[in-house]
Amino acid sequence: MILLKNCRLIPELTEGYDKQQADVVIDDEKILRITEPGEIKDFDGSIIDVAGSTLLPGFFDLHAHLYLSELNLLLIDNKSTVDTVFDTYAFSREYLRQGYTTIRDAGCRDNVTRGLMKAQKKGIINVPDIISSGHAITPTEGGNDEYKTMYAVADGPEEFRKAARQQFEAGNDVIKVMITGAFLNESGDPGQTIVTEEELRALVQVAEMKNSYVMGHAHGADGIKLGIRCGLRTIEHCCFIDDEAIEMFKNTDKCFMIPTGTVSIASIDDVDNLQEGAAEKSTKYEEIEKACVNKAYRAGLKMGFGSDADYANFSKKPGMEFIARTDWYDFEYKDILLQATKYSAEIAGMDDRKGTVKVGKNSELVVVEGNPDEDIYVMKKRPRYVFFRGEVIENR
């Protein structure tokens, strides 16, 4: 057991305890006790005095690509599977160092994320909990070769059903589909819808049979609305969301928006590693994306936390998505923290055990020096401590 002394708690991220200062007792699996500072005497275990630092629940990234060592997709596709496994492991460990304890992988190659989770269950490695989608399902489109190791290409409802079943057969948890074109695809038009309603409904049908769901990549408003109508659980990016789509989100508790600020910034800043045309598209639509996503936020939509990050940028710039959401989208600090924890846990269906600091929930905790609810920029530094599955990661 570990006693965390003199923790600062954020009320919106805490349940069952109404004071801001606390001592917290955890074991390898659960939060056991939350008390007023100094109340616990003669503790038989390890003691860590965090000296007023903020204690947060572990973070979520609901849109990750753990195999994405950098933004140059052609270079990544030419790597061996063995190299990709090591890249994926390195990225997952960096996520953990930054306080992320749950990752939803939005597309990988060779089912490497499933391999990580198998190794974790055997006790060989310790990586964040991974919700895997396997290969992203897409129709035949120009530029698919740029994602050839990540995509499963299918056309028509029957092929879409088969592709979905193949992802589940491989042991994956959810389905990922490309509804519109992509920024990083040289031939892609981000606003253009590329799937039919029948194809999407076929995926949802298969996913529901497996007690699962579909997550959909969509930038354009028509694609976003198609995904909501067809019963997808989340719509990723939503860069060109319009008023009608915002209202559709507001009128359902079954589908949620996952903005991804990190990839938008990286696509402009990391020009040298992008495919031809990608940076130009990102720059062209920068102000439109900012305005659209901010409008959805101001309308009160519950949003999850996603980054679409690559390892090279993510590892060099800790807290990148936290900063993107304030600098890029103009979100409020507390809402950003809620999106990274409580809201994402609810969207992922894991709020019974993750997402808040509460007795009985998983002891997946992050100690941050400073007050991120008052100054989100403290997240630019890796957390002081991360607690996950009995491991204590100390960043100095």
What is the DSSP annotation of 258-273?
E--HHHHHHHHH-GGG
Top-confidence residue, 283 or 18: 18
Tokens 């088969």 locate to 162
Please state, in angstroms and rounded to a whole number, the distance separating the CA atoms of residues 200 and 177: 8
The pLDDT value recorded for residue 128 is 98
Choice among 104-118, 159-173, 181-195, 368-382 with the minimum mean pLDDT: 181-195
- β 59-64/214-218 pair status: unpaired
Please say whether the beta carbons of 10 and 365 come within 8 A. no
Query: How many residues in the chain?
Result: 396
Query: In the predicted model, what is the mean pLDDT of the chain?
Result: 94
Q: What are phi and psi of 30, to 5 degrees?
A: -130, 160
- Alpha helices of the chain — where are they, by DSSP H? 73-77, 81-97, 112-121, 157-169, 197-209, 221-229, 243-250, 261-269, 278-284, 286-298, 311-316, 320-327, 333-338, 344-347
Domains of the chain (ranges, CATH numbers): 2-57+355-394 (2.30.40.10), 62-91+101-315 (3.20.20.140)
Please say whether the beta carbons of 70 and 311 come within 8 A. yes
- β 31-35/129-132 pair status: unpaired
Position 71 confidence tier, pLDDT thresholds 50, 70, 90 = confident
Please state, in angstroms and rounded to a whole number, the distance separating the CA atoms of residues 36 and 65: 40
Average pLDDT over residues 239-260: 98
Average pLDDT over residues 160-168: 99
- Whether the per-residue pLDDT at 183 is higher than 80: the answer is no
- What pLDDT, in 10s, does the model give residues 271-283? 566 666 666 666 7
Average pLDDT over residues 250-279: 81
The dihedral built from the CA positions of residue 355, 390, 307 and 350, taken in this order, carries a sign that is negative
Position 13 confidence tier, pLDDT thresholds 50, 70, 90 = very high
User: Burial level of 39, CB count in 10 A (0-12/13-18/19+)?
Assistant: exposed
The pLDDT value recorded for residue 271 is 58
Average pLDDT over residues 175-200: 89
- β 151-153/136-138 pair status: parallel
The pLDDT value recorded for residue 279 is 64
- Whether the per-residue pLDDT at 243 is higher than 90: the answer is yes
- Whether the per-residue pLDDT at 117 is higher than 80: the answer is yes
Choice among 47-61, 135-149, 330-344 with the minimum mean pLDDT: 135-149
- What pLDDT, in 10s, does the model give residues 207-222? 999 999 999 999 999 9
The pLDDT value recorded for residue 72 is 79
